Amino acid sequence: MTHRPILTHTRAQLAEALTKMPGTKALVMTMGALHNGHLQLVREARELADHVIVTIFVNPTQFAPGEDFDAYPRTLEADMDALETVGADLVWAPAPQDVYPTPVTVSIDPGPIARVLEGKTRPTHFAGVALVCSKVVNLVRPDVALYGQKDAQQLAVLRTVFTQLDIPVRVHAVPIVRAEDGVALSSRNQYLSDDERARARALSRSLRRGVEVAEAGAEPAVIVEQCRAVIEAEGGIDVDYIALVDAGTFEILAGTESVPVGEGAGAPTVAADGTRQGRLLIAAKVGTTRLIDNMEVALHAAPCSCSTHAGDLA
């Protein structure tokens, strides 16, 4: 049986509602304009705790001037309807002044992991994410917080920040939810024209190509190269980066310069036989819309001779 979640806006309302929720709590943080990817986080949260708390907040500190903070879709009523269908218990939809009541003079620098890939293009982004996530976790005090693999670097940054700041919360990662055509669900997909949406399919296609050549034994640089070739063949897509990282630690293996991995990002995925799990990541603009996507790839211990023939694969 589903029920309408309790809707709160101020900190006092949130605190009051939380006092009526004994037992374990799971936190799902969103910026709203909810789609099935967000709802999957809530469904998994239901399995992990007695109460599910969802936040809906377009966080100004993670947007740089010129990004889409003002244009970002805000659809609270529809979000509440969607959350009712998946059994969220409590929604906190604060205004910026409820989250940042005084001028913000404190910042969190998550370190080297926040300066590559997304962090290189959006230099202030992860400091804003780290700040809002730390504050909300401190206000809600959940047992577990769920984040999507769609934002894989965000997950690695938050694991690092929570570990190194001793913020006592378990982080649970949820796999990416995709549309039938393979496009990863994103609130920003609604910016795409029909043509652009069709072109956006090339992102997941390029990642699948990377997965295929990895399975055939390709080495990291070749995997990235083959992924890029699919995007170039499609045309009209402006690639920001394509990179391969260790799926556990986020150590960069190919596509861009490596950086030291901070404590907490995750456990290394290297198995006794030398194989490891990688994650192939892409960020690209389709029209004016910047999209990100990624997939897990199995990396073989030693490149086999077939890597040089990776281009022969369908």
Instruction: State the catalytic residues.
Output: 38
CB of 10 to ligand AMP, least distance (A): 21
Cβ proximity to ligand AMP: between 159 and 300 the closer is 159
Instruction: Candidates 8, 14, 18, 38: give the one binding ligand AMP (CB under 6 A).
Output: 38
At a CB cut-off of 8 Å and minimum separation 6, what does 77 contact?
none
Q: What tokens appear for 92 in the block?
A: 């906190």
Residue 246's H or E segment, with its range, is strand 237-246
Among 31, 39, 140, 252, binds ligand AMP (CB under 6 A): 31
Nearer to ligand AMP, 118 or 225 (CB): 118
Region binding ligand AMP by CB under 6 A among candidate stretches 30-38, 240-248, 250-258, 260-268 = 30-38
Residues forming beta bridges with residue 28, ordered by sequence position:
54, 146
Exposed, middle or buried, 97 (CB in 10 Å: 0-12/13-18/19+)? exposed
Burial class (CB in 10 A: 0-12, 13-18, 19+), 233: exposed
Least distance between ligand AMP and beta carbon 219 (Å): 29
CB under 8 Å to 42, separation ≥6 — which residues?
28, 52, 54, 83, 86, 87, 88
Taking the C-alpha atoms of residue 183 and residue 58, their distance in angstroms, rounded to an integer, is 23
Contact string (CB under 6 A) for ligand AMP, positions 39-58, x = contact: -xx-----------------
Work out how close the CB of 251 gets to ligand AMP at its nearest, in angstroms, rounded to a whole number: 21
Site for ligand AMP in 169-208 (CB under 6 A): 174, 176-177, 184-187
Determine contact, residues 38/64, Cβ cutoff 8 Å.
no
Mark 131-170 with x for binding to ligand AMP (rule: CB under 6 A) and - for no binding.
----------------xx-xx-------------------
Is residue 304 within 8 A of residue 275, CB to CB? The reply is no
Short-list 146, 163, 161, CA closest to 108: 161
Which of the ranges 32-40, 225-233, 253-261, 270-278 carries the binding residues for ligand AMP, by CB under 6 A?
32-40
Q: How far is the CB of 80 from ligand AMP (least distance, A)?
A: 15
Q: Does 283 bind ligand AMP (CB under 6 A)?
A: no
Token digits of residue 124? 């202030």
Give the Å distances, CA to CA, from 283 to 85, 100, 202, 228, 231: 32, 30, 12, 11, 11
Residue 157 or 243: the one with the smaller Cβ distance to ligand AMP is 157
The smaller minimum CB distance to ligand AMP, of residues 125 and 209, is found at 125
Closest CB to ligand AMP: residue number: 148
> What residue ranges bind ligand AMP (CB under 6 A)?
30-31, 37-38, 40-41, 147-148, 150-151, 174, 176-177, 184-187
